[in-house]
């Protein structure tokens, strides 16, 4: 995931928000949960963050190639 975070937000806040909202969405969509689950954990506790700087375009291209590769592998698995 490549995101730009404005300096006024702490990285930990943004990551916590993304992990929290995505866990709720996945639980409701794929696990049939109607209420938020308290005391349970969906994502791992930690995370890794790095700056892209001048390499941002290289990172962006890598992510796009990974998406294409995932689609290709998904199509190959149809024939197994």
Give the Cα-Cα-Cα angle 66, 68, 71 (nearest 5 degrees): 110
Nearest Cα residue to 45 out of 21, 15, 3, 9: 15
Exactly one of 9, 17, 47, 62 is catalytic; which is it?
A: 62
62 catalytically annotated? yes
- Tell me the catalytic residues: 62
């Amino acid at each position: 995931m490549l995101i730009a975070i404005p300096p006024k937000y702490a990285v930990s806040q943004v990551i916590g928000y993304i992990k929290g909202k995505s866990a709720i969405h996945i639980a409701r969509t794929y696990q049939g949960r109607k209420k938020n689950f308290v005391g349970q954990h969906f994502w791992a506790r930690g995370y890794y963050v790095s700056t892209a700087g001048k390499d941002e375009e290289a990172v962006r291209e890598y992510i796009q190639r990974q998406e294409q590769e995932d689609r290709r592998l998904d199509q190959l698995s149809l024939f197994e």
